């Protein structure tokens, strides 16, 4: 009995170290992401006209939509790689990287080939002043050439995470952003390229990021490169599973993109003040997600590893402690916003009308971190276990049967509170449904044989 207790204590201690080892670099990576946007805005804001800020903002909307949609390249790669790592299948780890890179480069080249069509559709849906649109199109037509590199970085970062290495993705994210800032300042000020300089700076930084990723891979994982076989990359059954997992994550992500795009459009339909206030309040949710997503990414790595290794006890223990850490951070932000939500508004804007408009909705900032953190963490668990069909199906339910009906039923009598209620119940539905489905989708499948290309266990 005493031996079992000591073993459990040792497992908990080791797991918590692993969780923090994976989560902390991911949190640092997430926090560094907004830095580039802040610098770009500051650069454009110091030029002679406001049209340059508008041009970069307008062009970035299209890229954000595209790259958010292709986020499955990172998530799918992490879950599949972590499972192969857990069962010590080195050949499959290498093959997953090969499949991911092949898909990323193909999609990147396709985006470049379709750039004129994307411009026609994108700027047909997003309107701006004639001069702003002209500059935004020039920005887009330069930055689109970074697509193969950007998507390749998604794959290699996901692969590193699947290999239980969170430091390399952190270094890549931070260094690529620093390089990007350097090139942006050089092109904008030294070469006076303005909005086009920001676009070209991004292109240079992304390809240098791929070169850096290649060096990091060769430095630590060169033996995996030696074991890469073309026939393993194109193994039919493995390819089907690879595309199935990634398609599920893609459809889930599209629902998420739609929900937040709908939220923004619905805010605009209420009033311009409501739109401004809601956009500021969404930054509260975004800030919280930077911390909680660190633990969600850790969940992708650890759950995939224990799922692949067929270790149900460690899997359950990992999920429990991931939720203790992750939901704890959600609760911390709920408390933070409850105590200091009002002063934080003044950091985002000095316009009294926007602050007064946002004040009645601050209490949603207490509820949403509590519900959102659960949804984010379950997403990480399901991605690690590659239980993507259940995640996709329940996201469709949360979007089509919870978010939209709640909005249409409540926005009339409740106004903007109805919109926030719809978003809150959307988060609750995601977290609750995935939690109730976890036994069937994650824990019971551990009793079944796991798919491997060569059908052997170490």
Q: d(Cα 386, Cα 242) in Å, to the nearest integer?
A: 10
The four Cα atoms 175, 177, 178, 184 give a dihedral, to 10 degrees, of: 140
Give the residue among 157, 98, 299 at the shortest CA–CA distance from 90: 98
Q: Under a CB-based contact definition with an 8 Å cutoff, are residues 390 and 441 in contact?
A: yes
Q: Give the phi and the psi of residue 64 in degrees, each rounded to 5.
A: -60, -40
Query: Tell me, what's the pLDDT at 62?
Result: 77
Q: Which of 60, 140, 74, 59 is nearest to 107 (CA)?
A: 74
Indicate left, alpha or beta for 164 from its phi (over 0: left) and psi (-120 to 50: alpha). left
Question: pLDDT value at position 26?
Answer: 86
Q: In the predicted model, what is the mean pLDDT of residues 8-16?
A: 78
Least confident of 283-292, 317-326, 395-404: 283-292
- Residue written as tokens 């499972």? 83
Question: By the 8 A CB rule, do 330 and 288 touch?
Answer: yes
DSSP string, 104-135: HHHHHHHHHHTHHHHHHHHHHHS---HHHHHH
Q: How does residue 40 score in pLDDT terms, banded at 50, 70 and 90?
A: low
Q: What is the DSSP letter of 454?
A: S
Residue reference for tokens 């780890």: 93
Range with the lowest mean pLDDT among 85-89, 273-277, 314-318, 332-336? 273-277
Residue 155 has what pLDDT?
A: 93
Cα 343 to the chain's mean position, in Å?
28
By mean pLDDT, which of 122-136, 167-181, 258-272 is the weakest? 122-136
Kindly compute the dihedral angle of the four CA atoms of residues 142, 144, 145, 150, in this order, to the nearest 10 degrees.
Answer: 130
Residues near 123 by beta carbon (within 8 Å), at least 6 away in sequence = 58, 62, 133, 136, 137
Contact 55, 136 (CB under 8 A): yes
Residue 138 confidence (pLDDT)? 83
Q: What is the mean pLDDT of the chain?
A: 84
Nearest CA among 420, 430, 427, 408 for reference residue 360? 420
Q: Phi/psi zone of residue 76: left (φ > 0), alpha (ψ -120 to 50 degrees), beta?
A: alpha
Close Cβ partners of 326 (under 8 Å, ≥ 6 residues apart): 292, 295, 296, 299, 373, 376, 377
pLDDT at 326: 93
Tokens found for residue 244: 């199935």
Q: Which two tokens stand for residue 23?
A: 């989560």
pLDDT tens track for 89-114? 888 888 899 889 989 999 999 999 99
Res. 456: pLDDT tops 50: no
3-state DSSP call for residue 164? coil
More confident residue, 180 or 215: 215
pLDDT for res 335: 95
Range of 69-83, 348-362, 381-395 with top mean pLDDT: 381-395
Question: Could you tell me the two tokens for 167?
Answer: 């430091």
- pLDDT band of 140, cuts 50, 70, 90: confident
- DSSP-derived 3-state class of residue 178: helix
Q: For the chain, what is the largest distance between any 2 Cα atoms, rounded to a whole number of angstroms?
A: 76
The reported pLDDT for the residue numbered 455 is: 44
Could you report how far apart the first and last alpha carbons of the chain are, in Å? 31
Output the DSSP codes for 277-334. HHHHHHHHHHHHHHHHHHHHHHHHHHHHHHHHTT-HHHHHHHHHHHHHHHHHHHHHHH
Max mean pLDDT among 122-131, 218-227, 229-238, 310-319 falls in: 310-319
According to the per-residue pLDDT averaged within each range, which of 83-87, 311-315, 375-379 is highest?
A: 375-379
Query: Average pLDDT in the 201-229 region?
Result: 88
Residues 128-155 have a mean pLDDT of 83
Which whole-number Å values give the CA distances from 113 to 31, 96, 196, in the listed order?
33, 26, 20
Structure-model confidence comparison of residues 191 and 88, the more confident one: 88
> What pTM did the predictor assign?
0.86
DSSP string, 34-87: HHHHHHHHHHHHTSS-THHHHHHHHHHHHHHHHHHHTTHHHHHHHHHHHHHHHT
Kindly indicate the confidence band of residue 215, based on its pLDDT and cuts at 50, 70 and 90: very high
d(CA 402, CA 386): 24
Which ranges of 130-235 would DSSP assign to H, the alpha helix? 130-143, 147-162, 167-185, 195-226, 230-233
Lowest-confidence range among 9-18, 330-339, 431-440? 9-18
How far apart, in whole angstroms, are the C-alpha atoms of residue 46 and residue 68?
29
Pair of tokens at residue 456: 């052997």
Produce one character per residue of 103-117: b if its CB has 16 or more CB atoms within 10 Å, e if not. bbbebbeebeeeeee
């Amino acid at each position: 009995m005493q031996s079992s207790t000591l073993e459990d204590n040792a497992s908990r201690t080791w797991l918590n170290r692993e969780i923090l080892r994976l989560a902390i670099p991911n949190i640092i990576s997430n926090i560094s992401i907004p830095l580039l946007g802040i610098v770009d805005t500051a650069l454009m804001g110091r030029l002679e006209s406001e049209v340059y800020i508008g041009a970069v903002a307008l062009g970035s909307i299209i890229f954000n939509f595209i790259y958010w949609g292709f986020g499955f390249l990172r998530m799918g790669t992490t879950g599949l790689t972590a499972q192969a790592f857990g069962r010590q299948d080195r050949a499959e780890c290498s093959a997953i990287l090969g499949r991911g890179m092949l898909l990323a480069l193909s999609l990147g080249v396709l985006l470049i080939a379709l750039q004129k069509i994307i411009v026609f559709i994108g700027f047909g849906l997003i309107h701006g002043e004639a001069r702003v649109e002209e500059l935004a199109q020039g920005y887009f037509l330069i930055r689109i050439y970074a697509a193969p590199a950007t998507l390749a970085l998604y794959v290699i970062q996901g692969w590193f995470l699947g290999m239980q290495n969170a430091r390399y993705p952190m270094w890549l994210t931070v260094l690529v952003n620093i390089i990007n800032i350097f090139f942006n300042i050089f092109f904008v000020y030294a070469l006076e390229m303005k909005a086009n300089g920001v676009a070209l700076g991004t292109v240079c930084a992304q390809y240098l990021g791929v070169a850096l990723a290649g060096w990091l891979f060769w430095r630590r994982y060169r033996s995996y490169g030696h074991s890469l076989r073309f026939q393993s990359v194109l193994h039919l059954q493995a390819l089907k599973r690879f595309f199935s997992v990634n398609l599920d994550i893609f459809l889930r992500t599209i629902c998420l993109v739609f929900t937040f795009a709908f939220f923004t459009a619905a805010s605009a339909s209420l009033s311009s003040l409501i739109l401004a206030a809601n956009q500021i309040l969404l930054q509260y949710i975004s800030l919280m997600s930077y911390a909680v997503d660190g633990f969600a990414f850790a969940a992708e790595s650890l759950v995939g590893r224990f799922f692949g290794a067929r270790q149900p006890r460690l899997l359950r223990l990992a999920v429990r402690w991931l939720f203790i850490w992750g939901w704890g951070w959600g609760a911390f932000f709920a408390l933070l916003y409850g105590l200091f939500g009002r002063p934080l508004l003044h950091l985002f804007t000095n316009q009294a009308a926007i602050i007064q408009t946002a004040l009645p909705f601050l209490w949603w900032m207490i509820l949403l971190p509590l519900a959102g953190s659960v949804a984010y963490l379950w997403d990480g668990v399901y991605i690690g276990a590659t239980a993507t069909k259940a995640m996709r199906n329940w996201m469709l339910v949360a979007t089509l049967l919870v978010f939209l009906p709640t909005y249409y039923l409540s926005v009339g009598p409740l106004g903007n509170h109805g919109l926030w209620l719809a978003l809150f119940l959307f988060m609750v539905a995601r977290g609750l449904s995935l939690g109730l489905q976890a036994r069937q989708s994650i824990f019971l499948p551990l009793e079944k044989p796991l798919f491997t290309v060569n059908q052997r266990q170490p």
